[in-house]
């Protein structure tokens, strides 16, 4: 234990007049912030003094990593060597996605563990020592998380839960009120979803007010709504920055990831062309009318053609209908359940209370000669996915892969073409650097024009995605972010998305300070 922690604990024993267990702090007795103010004021180094000055309307181009010592059930001390290594590699930003359960005692959300706070103090101290801005995030906040298990009740609509969340952010705000926003910022929630912007705004405003009662100058960032993908223009009046994500398309970033339903993802490529394989039923009225229409493949098709299509995932129920021109050729209802069936895997999604089973089932139909149009629809139920389409005639085969786009505004329209070097199913979306700009940058540039600073709080690819694909895709994102003048933080430093100890099977690692370093990825990040 270093002298920094000893002096803090000595202060708590001597200075407090309220009896409490040495490491158990209730909301009434927790008052260590006055000592924290003095200690942190002495910790600044020349490196920390050189950190850029942020304002909510325009953030610096911080570049760095997420560190996961207190992420989703973990409660380990932060490692000083991580901060030193990140700094020595030329980066100056660390986001700490943390789980509030790491600092409460025995499940009591109003009783706090001082030892955990001391470990967070250390992270801020390390940031000051090595010239790294610290971005504190409640990845699991009282009343909301994207992780498993979900939080109940939700903070968006429960006043008691909001009151607890206020207590937690007030505690952090008081403890670190003397630390400059050049060195420390707060990130309220991780990837809010399942709420309206108005509900999110109400909660965010309450928490921003609580924080700024302690330090009116504290830099605060709010993740965009819908898992960080969409900016919240109404937040402009809160004078906060906003954070977006760099995970699109999920077929590249989360290929092979066990915590998402990725088993129907095609093998990643970048760039690539794909069609939207989502087939929602007409009952999904929260989606645009266009995407609820049939998937279309235009002909003409060769003599003796066969259509093969692969059913990926079915949620709850789907009635799949195939028509050749106006003639119905196929109709089958798929109802996933637990246990054995024609699906490959039964998956019960507790959050929605339904089965979303992975079928990976290929179906084949003969296409009548002179057919001009094939339509594939889901006419009843919830939704299904088509992961692959094939049109074949003898040795001539045309194949196209399906991905999922919940935000599409129009139905999928494809065309069979045999006038190229080889037959092909053309159409869909070309996903490349320009697509990334149009989908992930443009909406947020509008937010910037309204006075909202932007940072990419998380990005990266799981270690199953081929390394060459990862490097190509990440470089396109980095080029875009440099053009947009945005900072970013890779998820993570050490781990399956990171530059160290990622356990990729297709990387020649460099032994560096006890780490298995992905030097190619590090060098790429250093360029931008």
Residue 264 within any structural domain of the chain: no
Percent of all residues in the chain with a pLDDT value above 90, rounded to a whole number: 78
pLDDT tens string 212-240: 999 999 999 999 999 999 999 999 999 99
Q: Is residue 329 part of a domain?
A: yes
pLDDT at 155 over 60: yes
Q: Are 314 and 359 in contact (CB under 8 A)?
A: yes
d(CA 197, CA 195): 7
Per-residue pLDDT tens for 81-101? 999 999 999 999 999 999 999
Total structural domains in the chain? 2
Q: Terminus-to-terminus CA distance in the chain, angstroms?
A: 38
CATH number of the domain that 80 lies in?
3.20.20.80
Based on the domain organization, do 299 and 173 belong to the same domain? no
Q: Residue 379 is inside which H or E element, if any?
A: strand 373-393
Let me know whether 172 and 211 are in one domain: yes
408 with 351, same domain: the answer is yes
For residue 34, pLDDT beyond 80: no
Residue 361 domain flag: yes
Q: Which residues contact 132 (CB under 8 A, 6 or more apart)?
A: 48, 51, 64, 83, 86, 87, 91, 92, 93, 94, 126
Q: Verify that 482 and 392 share a domain, yes or no.
A: no
Range of the domain at 387: 272-431
The residue among 431, 455, 487 that closes a domain is 431
Residue 444 in any domain: the answer is yes
Same domain, 409 and 354: yes
Mean pLDDT within 434-462: 97
Same domain, 398 and 517: no
User: What pLDDT does 43 receive?
Assistant: 57
Same domain, 233 and 294: no
Q: Tell me what pLDDT residue 269 has.
A: 86
pLDDT for 33 equals: 43
The 10s digit of each residue's pLDDT in 332-341 is 999 999 999 9
| Residue 365 main-chain phi, psi, to 5 deg | -135, 145
Other C-beta atoms closer than 10 Å to the C-beta of 31 total: 16
- State which of 431, 447, 469 marks the end of a domain: 431
Comparing 375 with 264, the larger pLDDT belongs to: 375
**Are 245 and 458 contacting, i.e. CB atoms less than 8 angstroms apart?**
yes
249-304 tens-digit pLDDT: 988 999 998 888 776 677 888 998 889 999 999 999 888 888 899 999 999 999 99
Residue where one domain finishes, among candidates 399, 431, 463: 431
Do 182 and 246 fall into the same domain? Answer: yes
């Amino acid at each position: 234990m270093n002298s920094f922690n000893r002096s803090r604990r000595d202060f708590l024993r001597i200075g407090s007049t309220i009896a409490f267990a040495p490491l158990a702090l209730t909301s009434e007795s927790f008052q260590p912030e006055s000592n924290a103010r003095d200690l942190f004021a002495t910790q600044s180094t020349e490196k920390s003094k050189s950190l850029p000055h942020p304002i909510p309307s325009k953030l610096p181009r911080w570049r760095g990593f997420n560190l996961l010592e207190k992420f989703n059930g973990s409660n380990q001390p932060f490692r000083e060597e991580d901060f030193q290594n990140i700094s020595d590699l030329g980066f100056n930003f660390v986001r700490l996605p943390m789980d509030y359960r790491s600092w409460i005692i025995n499940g009591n959300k109003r009783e706090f563990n001082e030892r955990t706070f001391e470990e967070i103090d250390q992270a801020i101290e390390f940031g000051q020592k090595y010239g790294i801005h610290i971005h504190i995030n409640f990845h699991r906040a009282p009343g909301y998380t994207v992780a498993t298990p979900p939080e109940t009740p939700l903070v968006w609509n429960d006043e008691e839960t909001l009151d607890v969340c206020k207590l937690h952010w007030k505690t952090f705000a008081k403890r670190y009120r003397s630390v400059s926003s050049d060195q420390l910022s707060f990130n309220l929630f991780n990837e809010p979803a399942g709420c309206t912007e108005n509900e999110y705004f109400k909660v965010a405003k309450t928490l921003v007010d609580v924080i700024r009662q302690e330090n009116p100058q504290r830099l605060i960032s709010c993740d965009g709504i819908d898992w960080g993908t969409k900016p919240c223009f109404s937040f402009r009046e809160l004078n906060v920055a906003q954070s977006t994500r760099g995970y699109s398309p999920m077929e590249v970033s989360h290929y092979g990831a066990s915590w998402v339903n990725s088993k129907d993802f095609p093998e990643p490529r970048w760039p690539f062309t794909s069609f939207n394989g989502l087939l929602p039923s007409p009952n999904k009225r929260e989606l645009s009318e266009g995407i609820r229409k049939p998937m279309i493949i235009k002909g003409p098709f060769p003599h003796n053609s066969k259509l093969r299509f692969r059913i990926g995932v079915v949620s709850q129920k789907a009635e799949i209908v195939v028509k050749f021109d106006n003639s119905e050729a196929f109709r089958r209802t798929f109802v996933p359940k637990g246990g054995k069936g024609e699906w490959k895997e039964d998956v019960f999604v507790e959050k929605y209370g339904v089965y979303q089973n992975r079928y990976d089932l290929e179906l084949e139909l003969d296409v009548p000669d002179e057919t001009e149009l094939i339509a594939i629809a889901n006419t009843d139920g919830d939704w299904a996915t088509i992961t692959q389409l094939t049109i074949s005639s003898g040795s001539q085969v045309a194949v196209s892969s399906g991905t999922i786009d919940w935000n599409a505004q129009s139905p999928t329209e494809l065309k069979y073409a045999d006038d190229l070097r080889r037959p092909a199913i053309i159409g869909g979306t070309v996903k490349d650097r320009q697509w990334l700009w149009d989908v992930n940058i443009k909406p947020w540039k509008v937010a910037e024009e309204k006075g909202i600073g932007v940072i990419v709080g998380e990005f990266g690819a799981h270690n199953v995605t081929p390394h060459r694909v990862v490097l190509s895709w990440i470089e396109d994102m980095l080029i875009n972010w440099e053009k947009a003048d945005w900072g970013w933080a890779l998820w993570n430093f050490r781990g399956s998305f990171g530059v160290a100890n990622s356990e990729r099977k297709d990387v020649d690692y460099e032994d560096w300070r006890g780490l298995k370093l992905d030097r190619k990825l590090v060098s790429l990040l250093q360029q931008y």
